[in-house]
């Protein structure tokens, strides 16, 4: 499973990728705006830091300007994956970019039939939003399972990238459901490393070591 961090904060990302456990990054205009840095400059810096897929999102909503913007983003760095909305224009742009050999991440997926269309458009990744579905009373994890089955049924190469992950249980369930990748906030990544029994066990080992005079 590929593990991405959902952030545009360089220092936060530097801390997360230091252990070699992070495969890439997802960003969006809102995350970059919080940094106060220029968008393109930030994307390049993240690509250089991570050395893996970095999803950079377009802001245009119509196909022609979206395609132009997407090409500009792709030209920034070899690791850029162009992030597109799951709309008619977004899928049209996805198809064009795929034909040009440019990797894409089709985002804001909320149903399996939307995900089917994204796969037919040649998306490299599709991002189903688990947490936002949970927020409206639907089982977000069911979407991961449905997409996994649809893609396996027809041999689509599009990767299921679980997004809108709120806690560690979300990540576990996405992994069990067969998601190819997941993108998580840095705070959730930190929690993956922690367990109270690990901490107490280590404290006991160290205390016993000290008693033994070793």
Residue pair 54/25 in contact by the 8 Å Cβ criterion: yes
- Dihedral angle, C-alpha 57, 133, 159, 115, nearest 10 °: -90
- What positions carry a catalytic annotation? 83
| CB neighbour class for 125 (10 Å; exposed up to 12, middle 13-18, buried from 19) | buried
DSSP element (H, E) containing 136: none
**What is the C-alpha separation between 186 and 7, in angstroms, rounded?**
7
Residue pair 103/82 in contact by the 8 Å Cβ criterion: yes
**What is the C-alpha separation between 136 and 150, in angstroms, rounded?**
24
**DSSP β-bridge partners for residue 85:** 107
């Amino acid at each position: 499973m590929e593990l991405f961090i959902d952030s545009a904060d360089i220092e936060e990302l530097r801390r997360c990728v230091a252990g070699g456990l992070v495969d890439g990054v997802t960003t969006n205009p809102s995350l970059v705006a919080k940094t106060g840095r220029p968008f393109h400059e930030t994307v390049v810096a993240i690509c250089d830091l991570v050395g893996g897929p970095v999803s950079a999102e377009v802001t245009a909503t119509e196909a022609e300007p979206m395609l132009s913007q997407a090409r500009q983003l792709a030209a920034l760095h070899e690791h850029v994956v162009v992030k597109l909305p799951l709309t008619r224009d977004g899928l049209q742009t996805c198809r064009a970019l795929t034909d040009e050999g440019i990797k894409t991440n089709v985002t804001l997926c909320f149903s399996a039939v939307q995900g089917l269309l994204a796969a037919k458009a040649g998306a490299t990744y599709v991002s189903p939003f688990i947490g936002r579905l949970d927020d409206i009373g639907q089982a977000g994890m069911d979407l991961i399972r449905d997409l996994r089955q649809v893609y396996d049924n027809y041999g689509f190469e599009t990767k299921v990238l679980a997004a809108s992950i709120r806690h560690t249980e979300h990540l576990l369930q996405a992994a069990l459901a067969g998601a190819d990748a997941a993108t998580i906030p840095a705070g959730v990544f930190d929690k993956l490393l922690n367990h109270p029994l690990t901490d107490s066990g280590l404290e006991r080992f160290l205390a016993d070591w000290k008693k033994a005079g070793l």
